[in-house]
């Protein structure tokens, strides 16, 4: 069992978003008085500040009343819902989707990611992931006994594009990487990959026959009217080698229903359904009914939601930019911001604990996104605007108390 022990020892969750309540108390170097203010949990979005998509509850209730047909769907999700989503997502991503074979409904995008990784990673397979990127990515590679090949993204440096090291990416493909997984917009930095970069990724994937999973969870929340390039819309990668993941948990605030979607490669989706059959059978049947409201928002609703987030982003980014010693990139999409702090007297886990105790602010430590991000933290700024701004002011004050 010792290999299994090791595996689970690496699968820590105590620093993961939402799990702070389970942390053990430790001796902390607390300096100065507590900073008063409305508590803000930046580890995930606040759906009380940004409410779920209108009429989502009504769709759920209708699904419930429909009864057995909605409760017991195929493992890949109810056919009529897949039909509707296939059409909407094809229009959104710029390439057709066969509703029968090329789309699966999952319990959240986390569910889609787990199934997709399980469908692709054999023992010892090399898997390239970006650093920084969503914290579960590396855990999934490890869980499925893949070999992690990190590719650096110098997100603080470039004027445009992500700063992904494309040379290192090609080198990894040449060295036998089977699967490349990346999020676009990037979690945690808010970077959008430039069209040229997405094209380069497509060419490399096609040249080396690498499977690609793109996590586009935040691709509907793009700021400043920027261009967003869907890898599948380029039509440069063999469609059977490409899977796209998206869901309504973030911008649309439907996380409480646990809904996600994966679309693309029929081969991968076939495996994902087999896996889903033993993992949790299906996304909760009644919840699936809520997909009806997605990509069918009331006129102007999405635009307003993106604008509200952009306004919070601007204020928070301005605070970090003005604060001495911080480095931060302006997020181009999504609700995340990933500042690099000036040097302080605390390690990053101590810092997040001190911040919560002294300022009632929760953030996610940078090391969740790659072991080298010891001086960074992630915030999800989908929060009450004023409370978030005040909380960032407190955060900067706490950092200043510990500067070297």
For the chain, the 3-state helix, strand and coil shares in percent, each to the nearest 5, are 45, 15, 45
Q: Is 326 in the site for a copy of itself (CB under 8 A)?
A: no
User: In three state form, how does the secondary structure of 313-334 look?
Assistant: HHHHHHHHHHCCCCECCCCCEC
> Restricting to residues 338-357, which ones interact with a copy of itself according to CB under 8 A?
none
Q: Is 382 in the site for a copy of itself (CB under 8 A)?
A: no
Residue with Cβ nearer a copy of itself (63 or 161): 63
Backbone angles phi, psi at 336, to 5 degrees: -105, 150
Cβ atoms within 10 Å, residue 159: 5
Name the nearest CA neighbour of 182 among 215, 154, 221, 160: 215
> Restricting to residues 232-261, which ones interact with a copy of itself according to CB under 8 A?
255-258
Q: Is 63 in the site for a copy of itself (CB under 8 A)?
A: yes
The span from the CA of 329 to the CA of 320, in Å, is: 10
- Which distant-in-sequence residues (6+ apart) come within 8 Å of 38 by Cβ? 360, 384, 387, 390, 391
| Total interface residues for a copy of itself by CB under 8 A | 68
Considering only 37, 38, 55, 57, the residue that binds a copy of itself (CB under 8 A) is 57
Q: How far is the CB of 21 from a copy of itself (least distance, A)?
A: 6
Q: Is 287 in the site for a copy of itself (CB under 8 A)?
A: yes
Q: How far is the CB of 129 from a copy of itself (least distance, A)?
A: 14
Q: Is 68 in the site for a copy of itself (CB under 8 A)?
A: yes
- Indicate the DSSP class of residue 335: S
Q: Is 218 in the site for a copy of itself (CB under 8 A)?
A: no
Q: Is 167 in the site for a copy of itself (CB under 8 A)?
A: no
Residue with Cβ nearer a copy of itself (15 or 219): 15
Residue written as token pair 């893949």:
146
Q: Is 387 in the site for a copy of itself (CB under 8 A)?
A: no
Q: Is 360 in the site for a copy of itself (CB under 8 A)?
A: no
The token pair that represents 20 in the structure block: 């702070």
CA dihedral 99, 105, 111, 117 (to 10 degrees): -10
Residue with Cβ nearer a copy of itself (125 or 165): 125
The span from the CA of 85 to the CA of 261, in Å, is: 9
The span from the CA of 270 to the CA of 76, in Å, is: 9
Q: How far is the CB of 31 from a copy of itself (least distance, A)?
A: 30
- Which distant-in-sequence residues (6+ apart) come within 8 Å of 13 by Cβ? 19, 22
The token pair that represents 220 in the structure block: 């509907």
Considering only 88, 195, 271, 401, the residue that binds a copy of itself (CB under 8 A) is 271
Q: Is 378 in the site for a copy of itself (CB under 8 A)?
A: no
Residue 71's Cα: distance from chain center in Å?
Answer: 28
Name the nearest CA neighbour of 234 among 270, 190, 264, 277: 264
Length reported for the chain: 404
The span from the CA of 166 to the CA of 342, in Å, is: 29
The stretch near a copy of itself (CB under 8 A) out of 111-119, 151-159, 239-247, 356-364 is 111-119
Q: How far is the CB of 346 from a copy of itself (least distance, A)?
A: 25
Residue with Cβ nearer a copy of itself (142 or 315): 142
Q: How far is the CB of 114 from a copy of itself (least distance, A)?
A: 5
The stretch near a copy of itself (CB under 8 A) out of 121-129, 299-307, 325-333, 345-353 is 121-129
Residues contributing to the site for a copy of itself (CB under 8 A): 1, 3-4, 8, 11-13, 16, 18-19, 21-22, 44, 46-48, 52, 57, 60-61, 63-64, 67-68, 70-75, 79, 106-108, 110-111, 114, 119-123, 125, 136, 139-140, 143, 178, 255-258, 270-271, 273-275, 277-287
């Amino acid at each position: 069992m010792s290999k299994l022990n090791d595996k689970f020892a690496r699968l820590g969750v105590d620093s993961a978003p939402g799990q702070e309540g389970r942390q053990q108390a430790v001796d902390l170097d607390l300096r100065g008085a507590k900073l008063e203010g409305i508590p803000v949990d930046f580890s995930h979005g606040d759906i009380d500040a940004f409410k779920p998509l209108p009429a989502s509850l009504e769709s759920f209730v209708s699904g419930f009343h429909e009864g057995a047909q909605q409760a017991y769907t195929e493992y890949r999700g109810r056919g009529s819902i897949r039909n509707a989503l296939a059409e909407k997502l094809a229009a959104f991503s710029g390439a057709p989707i066969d509703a029968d074979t090329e789309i699966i409904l999952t319990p959240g995008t986390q569910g889609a990611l787990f199934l997709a990784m399980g469908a692709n990673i054999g023992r010892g397979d090399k898997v390239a992931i970006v650093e920084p990127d969503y914290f579960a990515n590396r855990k999934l590679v490890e869980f499925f006994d893949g070999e992690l090949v990190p590719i650096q993204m110098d997100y603080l440096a470039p004027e445009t594009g992500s700063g992904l090291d494309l040379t290192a990416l090609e080198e990894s493909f040449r060295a036998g990487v089977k699967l490349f997984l990346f999020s676009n917009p990037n979690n945690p930095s808010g970077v959008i990959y430039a069209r040229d970069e997405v094209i380069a990724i497509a060419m490399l994937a096609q040249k080396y026959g690498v499977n690609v999973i793109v996590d586009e969870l935040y691709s509907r929340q793009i700021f400043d009217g920027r261009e967003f390039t869907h890898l599948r819309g380029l039509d440069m990668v063999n469609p059977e080698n490409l899977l796209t993941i998206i869901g309504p948990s973030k911008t649309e605030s439907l996380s409480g229903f646990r809904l996600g979607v994966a679309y693309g490669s029929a081969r991968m989706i076939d495996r994902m359904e087999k896996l889903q059959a033993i993992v949790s059978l299906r996304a909760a049947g009644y919840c699936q009914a809520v997909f009806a409201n997605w990509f069918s928002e009331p006129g102007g609703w999405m635009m307003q939601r993106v604008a509200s987030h952009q306004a919070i982003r601007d204020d928070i980014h301005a605070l970090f930019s003005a604060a001495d010693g911080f480095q931060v990139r302006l997020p181009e999409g999504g609700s995340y911001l990933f500042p690099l702090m000036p040097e302080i007297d605390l390690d990053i886990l101590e810092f997040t604990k001190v911040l919560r105790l002294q300022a009632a602010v929760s953030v996610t430590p940078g090391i969740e996104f790659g072991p080298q991000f010891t001086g960074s933290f992630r915030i999800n700024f989908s929060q009450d605007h004023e409370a978030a701004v005040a909380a960032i002011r407190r955060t900067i004050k706490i950092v200043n108390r510990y500067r070297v």
